Structure 1
Amino acid sequence: MTLHRRSSRPAAVVALATGLCLVAGCGTAAKKTDSAASGGTQTTTAATGTSSAPAAAPAGQKVKLSVVSLLPGSTKEAFKAFNDQVAIFEQAHPDIDVQPHEYEWKGTTFAAQLAGGTLPTVFEVPFTDARTLIGNKQVADLTAQVRQLPYAGTFNPSVLAQGQDSKGDIYALPKGAYGVGLQYNRALFTKAGLDPDKPPTTWDEVRADARAIASKTHQAGFALMGKSNTGGWNLAMLTYALGGRLETVDSSGKATVTLANPGTKAALQWLKQLRWSDNAMGSNFLLDWGSMNQAFAAGKVGMYLSGSDVYTNLVQANHVKPETYGLTVLPMSDSPDAGLLGGGTEVVVKASATDAEKAAAVKWMDFYYLSKLTDQQAAVRDAKTLVASKQPVGTPQLPLFDKATLDTYMSWISSYVDVPLGQMKGFTDNIFNQKLQPEPPVSTQALYGVLDTVVQKVLTDKGTNIDQLLAKTTPIAQQAVDKAS
């Protein structure tokens, strides 16, 4: 996967661990996509359409701007909410023709889409891929445009750093940030005789609850993603929570893969017991992010690991019943290095975009993703639009701006919040007590791809020797990381 390049800013990545804090943010339309743009110097508020920079195109010319919309299979109500927002934007900007494209980021297909030029002009990527694309100069420099946004100085610096290069130039803007949480099905908890208002707080309790769910409901008590780099992603979550790390990075930015750490060994041993001793993980070990969400919403999974913001997608694309949803924090081991893996999504513009397309793209990014967090009219308009189409408002996320900005934003939308926050208290009440840590900083997706095979091996081969497996896989992972960096 030649897509991935070593980050030249390990310090900026580490800053994510200390700079993020949690608030309940407004849910947005899509999950896991990519792009970046540079060019014109304009900014627009979503509610008024006023601009503080040059127009996206000369008078009389209309810019066609392709953008990602929602995941394939999202509900008609979700698409209506998105299309309503497009109409509002185009009314404020008659010189821009927004052309939406359904899209889901997948590690196994993204490189080919990027190389083949099939991505829209504005697309979304995980934090980990944004660093790679920036290093490879595969997305456009947005510095001039972003600096003119009225809220440019209030970004959470640790979040903004994920879209900057070593010189501090801005190539990507954050769509959202998350901390990992334990998603659980309250209905399956009840059927298994468990109290859905008392989710597990230790990994032993997770295992016991998974056994109860599997035994009494015949569904997977706990399920793990296993392909398209998501198996490695989930294994990283468990590793971090148990005090391990998958890479060390020296002062030059060189990464050394450290798979045989106690945290990863403990994570795999826990999974092996849950799978083979408890028979509590079901039979499908090739789920990815989309298919896991689908299985969970269908009542086939009791618990799984994912970002704290996944509820939005569960509603938009998977028709989850709100009353069945629960969210709590991941248990942490007693290790002083135990930490919560965090991440997020960046919005970028393809490097080949024209100046007019780049200017239009920044207007769209301001309108659709960011101004609703900084402008009262835009915040209320966005919340009303989402509520009218029965879309989530209030899904827990990490802040993109400073605390004062976010507190003000929450006061604007408080009357429109429609997510079951009472069923997420295990997460929102306890997340401040957890130490947030960034994902492995070098060639992250390449590393996750190799770890998919480790997860699959443990869950499909009862006789797997974990020590031998990690010893065998480490040089393979190191080669993949070196090649991609």
Structure 2
Amino acid sequence: MRLTRTTALATAGVLSLGLLAACSDDSTPQGEPSGGTTGDTSVTISVAGLLPTADDAAKKQLADRVAAFEDEYPNITVETEDYEWRNSTFTTQLAGGTLPNVFEIPLTDGKTLIENGQLADIDALVRALPYGEDFNAKLLANGQDDAGTIFAVPAKSIYAVALHYNRDLFEQAGLDPDDPPTTWDEVRAAAKTIHDETGVAGYATMALDASGGWQLAAGANSRGGVIETAQGDGAYTATLDDPAVAEHLEWLKALRWEDDSLLARADLGWGEINAAFAGGEVAMYTSGSDVYNALVEGNGVDAEWGYGLTAIPTTGDGGALTGGTLAAVRKDSTDAEKDAAVKWIDWWYLSKLQDQEQAVADARTRAEADPAQAVGTPVLPIFSEELYDQNLEWIADFVNVPLEDMSGYTDVMFTQNLVPEASVATQDLYNALFPVVQAVISDEGADVAALLEAADATGQAAIDAAS
């Protein structure tokens, strides 16, 4: 759904961490893919940079990494652009050719953009990287066509939706922040207690645009439901009226109208809810497990703030909705620009996961920024769990996130059930759902069943159009 946030595997089934690929061979220097086409030719590329809300420290950290890249590749000039993927603007930017050479997309959008011929073929350049054959195959598949040609690669944190909470508000309400809720009933009870004791909303949910549908889907997934099913013959069916979707909506409705503990705002997207949480307007919300980075870089949160992270509550065969980001290259890029773009993707996103020198350099610049940027935020690994652990060892001296207050998530991050996003018309399904979330927040008499029936029809029409 969001780029630093949003988007699960498009392939069916649960992500199996046991299938994560092995580490790369050390014999080839990092950051030097063979078969490149830039040579000594000067080339300038534009790349997706930071969120528009990023602070000066984050901007300096990016600038330092750009300078180091240009020292390594003197013939390449990198121009960064503020970047935040939004469903409402991306299509226009793509069609208008206004995206940077390197841009970010949700995992689930890769297949559609490839089928539409809207991404550059970067197969040979990616495979020439030292670890080009070592990606988790299930993740990489989201950026490949049916023939296995690579058009985009997993590039940013692969996250699971988790529960974020304000430890200070828990303490003020007489709750134990070291024992966060593990069931939705416990979340509801904690939310009411916090509101009654502090006057602050105990819980909030995204409701604006596709973000609202994304988090409603996450709630349904945690309860064992899905918003789309595969029929086995290439056909897909919308299930926006799944009982688990209705159950989560009724739960939100109870918080809003019975307990008065839900933040009464229907205008919260990903950025807005982060700001509300950082500003102390709400005690709990769900989002990608990696959102702490954005809270630090864009909202002034730090290790002393009182942040807590725990796993999303699950029931029965429910699980955590999983997502992340693909890095892609604009289709009209020249060969030299594509080569430079893959070098940048390697440098900015991936080599720091594979190479100790790069990992330490990246961690040091983040930790030594003023103010410091987050280092060590828990994410699911793009490569292997073993390499993830190795990476944490490399950067141990620079880790500055409150890992001890994130144990409710890290204790289960490699064992929890992970649920992929819908495979077809994902954003359309979210867009069909968010008005239902808004209705529940705004109208005590909202008819959940009728609203979901209409949303399901809209969702099915979008699936049919995309099939």
TM-score, normalization: structure 1? 0.89
Letter in 2 for 1:322: A
Match of 2:65 in 1: 85
Match of 1:382 in 2: 362
SS state at 2:395 partner: helix
Query: Following superposition of structure 1 onto structure 2, how do residues 297-446 of structure 1 map, counting pairs within 5 Å?
Result: 297-323=278-304, 324-333=306-315, 335=316, 337-389=317-369, 390-446=372-428
Counterparts of 2:232 and 2:19, CA distance in 1: 27
Tell me the alpha carbon deviations over residues 287-330 of structure 1, each in whole angstroms, 9 at most, x when there is no partner: 10011111111111111111111111110111113232110001
Q: Give how far 1:111 is off.
A: 1.1
Match of 2:12 in 1: 14
Match of 2:4 in 1: none
Match of 2:239 in 1: 258
Counterparts of 1:376 and 1:53, CA distance in 2: 24
- The structure-2 alpha-carbon separation of the partners of 1:310 and 1:103, relative to structure 1 and needing over 3 Å to count, comes to same
Is it true that 1:45 corresponds to 2:30 in the alignment?
Answer: yes
- The structure-2 alpha-carbon separation of the partners of 1:16 and 1:96, relative to structure 1 and needing over 3 Å to count, comes to farther
Match of 1:241 in 2: 222
Letter in 1 for 2:344: W
Greater shift in the superposed pair: 11-20 or 459-468? 11-20
Match of 1:7 in 2: none
Return 5+ residue gaps in structure 2 as ranges.
1-7, 21-27
SS state at 2:150 partner: coil
Counterparts of 1:475 and 1:424, CA distance in 2: 40
Q: Give how far 1:15 is off.
A: 5.1
1:296 counterpart (273, 277, 284):
277
Counterparts of 1:250 and 1:319, CA distance in 2: 46
Counterparts of 1:406 and 1:430, CA distance in 2: 15
Match of 1:172 in 2: 152
Q: Is the 8 A contact 1:154 1:402 kept in 2?
A: no
Counterparts of 1:20 and 1:340, CA distance in 2: 17
- The structure-2 alpha-carbon separation of the partners of 1:11 and 1:326, relative to structure 1 and needing over 3 Å to count, comes to closer
Match of 1:134 in 2: 114
Counterparts of 1:12 and 1:114, CA distance in 2: 21
Letter in 2 for 1:143: D
SS state at 1:152 partner: coil
CA RMSD of aligned residues (A): 1.9
Q: Is the 8 A contact 2:215 2:286 kept in 1?
A: yes
Q: Is the 8 A contact 2:9 2:322 kept in 1?
A: no
Match of 2:85 in 1: 105
Q: Give how far 1:198 is off.
A: 1.0
Tell me the alpha carbon deviations over residues 446-484 of structure 1, each in whole angstroms, 9 at most, x when there is no partner: 100110111111111111122222223221221123224
1:462 counterpart (422, 444, 461):
444
Counterparts of 1:243 and 1:76, CA distance in 2: 42
Return 5+ residue gaps in structure 1 as ranges.
1-9, 23-42
Letter in 2 for 1:85: R
Q: Give how far 1:195 is off.
A: 1.3
SS state at 2:35 partner: coil
Q: How many residues align?
A: 449
Counterparts of 2:291 and 2:340, CA distance in 1: 29
Match of 1:481 in 2: 463
Q: Give how far 1:214 is off.
A: 1.8
- The structure-2 alpha-carbon separation of the partners of 1:11 and 1:458, relative to structure 1 and needing over 3 Å to count, comes to closer
Q: Is the 8 A contact 2:101 2:330 kept in 1?
A: yes
SS state at 1:14 partner: coil
Consecutive aligned runs of 4 or more in structure 1 exceeding 6 Å deviation? none
Counterparts of 1:456 and 1:172, CA distance in 2: 34
1:208 counterpart (182, 189, 193):
189
2:202 counterpart (213, 218, 221):
221
Is it true that 1:273 corresponds to 2:254 in the alignment?
Answer: yes
Tell me the alpha carbon deviations over residues 14-42 of structure 1, each in whole angstroms, 9 at most, x when there is no partner: 255224799xxxxxxxxxxxxxxxxxxxx
TM-score, normalization: structure 2? 0.92
- The structure-2 alpha-carbon separation of the partners of 1:192 and 1:12, relative to structure 1 and needing over 3 Å to count, comes to closer
Q: Give how far 1:193 is off.
A: 1.6
Tell me the alpha carbon deviations over residues 199-231 of structure 1, each in whole angstroms, 9 at most, x when there is no partner: 101111100111122222222211000112011
SS state at 1:328 partner: strand
- The structure-2 alpha-carbon separation of the partners of 1:146 and 1:399, relative to structure 1 and needing over 3 Å to count, comes to same
Identity of aligned residues (%): 48
Counterparts of 2:307 and 2:394, CA distance in 1: 25
Letter in 1 for 2:149: D
Letter in 2 for 1:164: Q
Counterparts of 2:311 and 2:446, CA distance in 1: 30
Counterparts of 2:264 and 2:237, CA distance in 1: 34
Match of 1:190 in 2: 171
Counterparts of 2:19 and 2:54, CA distance in 1: 29
Q: Give how far 1:263 is off.
A: 0.8
Q: Give how far 1:147 is off.
A: 1.0
- The structure-2 alpha-carbon separation of the partners of 1:475 and 1:15, relative to structure 1 and needing over 3 Å to count, comes to closer
Tell me the alpha carbon deviations over residues 106-133 of structure 1, each in whole angstroms, 9 at most, x when there is no partner: 1111111111221111011111222221
- The structure-2 alpha-carbon separation of the partners of 1:255 and 1:297, relative to structure 1 and needing over 3 Å to count, comes to same
Letter in 2 for 1:139: L
Counterparts of 2:413 and 2:351, CA distance in 1: 26
